Structure 1
Amino acid sequence: MSFEFQGIDHVQLAAPKGCEIKARDFFGIILGLKEIPKPENLQGRGGCWFQCGNQEIHIGVEEDFKGAKKAHPGLVVKNLEELKKTLLANQIMIMEDIPINGRNRIHVNDPFGNRLEFLEYI
């Protein structure tokens, strides 16, 4: 094979028009992800981008938006218990899940109904 995959650059999550304030509150303030500037040629589309480790999370505006209930990113976190405390302190419902292959995990919904999974290697 003359090509190889080297990883994931970003995950795109959809949200309704006017989502930016809620996205910045959830991803930026509550989760503590740093917002990064969108390229100038994409700024007119709405949404916002965040740094997540070496990857990015892009929140993009989608017409006729519906939250993703099954498809989701799996975000690796260190100190899952502290994240759970932060989420609960912000009235964000946590869905516990059984550990898999040496990973503890929980699920939450972002403010737009998209499923997010947080995993910690044990």
Structure 2
Amino acid sequence: MTAATIADYAFDFTFTGVHHLQLAIPPGGEGLSRVFWGELLGMTELEKPVQLGSLDGCWFRGGQLEVRLVVENDFRPFRKAHPAILVRSLGDLARRLEDKGHPVTWEDGLPGFDRFHTFDKVGNRLEFLEGCGPS
């Protein structure tokens, strides 16, 4: 469907947010994930629903963000692709990450946002950003 034909359709739906992010981790990566998402970022670990059986990995929630980390046997971390996570008090998060040995790389180029990239403990690239008003 091209942009010209999309305009010909009326849609009765609206996107209202993201329920969760799912990221891959390597076999045995749950411990490192608990340190990063739980201890470092202060998220609460969730119990996985019984219906999911023996699904390996761990889930976390902090504020309105839920992150589900699932084991992939042929794991390859995100190096370019990444989730972009909105944060309040971005500078405080950056200082916390750096104080705990996670370098952050501040980046320009997205008008209206301050942002940086970092990597979790298994090598997945993550972007954190905060609105900074009109540019």
TM-score when scaled to structure 1? 0.91
Q: Tell me the residue number matched to 2:22.
A: 12
Give, in whole Å, the separation in 1 of the partners of 2:85 and 2:100.
19
Indicate yes or no: 2:90 matched with 1:88. Answer: no
The 5 A counterparts of 1:36-55 are 36-55=46-65
Identity %: 40
What's the RMSD between the two structures over aligned residues? 1.5
* Structure with greater strand percent: 1
Per-residue deviation, 1:120: 1.1
The 5 A counterparts of 1:53-92 are 53-92=63-102
Task: Specify the SS of the correspondent of 1:85.
Answer: helix
Task: Specify the SS of the correspondent of 1:45.
Answer: coil
Per-residue deviation, 1:43: 4.9
**Gaps (5+ residues) in structure 1?**
none
Give, in whole Å, the separation in 2 of the partners of 1:43 and 1:32.
26
Per-residue deviation, 1:89: 1.1
**Structure 2 vs 1, CA of residues 37 and 116 (structure 1 numbering), >3 Å: closer, same or farther?**
same
* CA offset digits 1:65-114 (Å, max 9, x no partner): 00011111111111111111111111111111115221100000111111
Whether the 8 Å CA contact 1:95–1:108 is kept in 2: the answer is yes
**Gaps (5+ residues) in structure 2?**
1-10
Whether the 8 Å CA contact 1:99–1:105 is kept in 2: the answer is no
Per-residue deviation, 1:3: 4.0
Give, in whole Å, the separation in 2 of the partners of 1:83 and 1:54.
16
Per-residue deviation, 1:49: 0.7
The number of residues matched between the two structures is 122
Q: Tell me the residue number matched to 2:118.
A: 108
Give, in whole Å, the separation in 2 of the partners of 1:5 and 1:36.
25
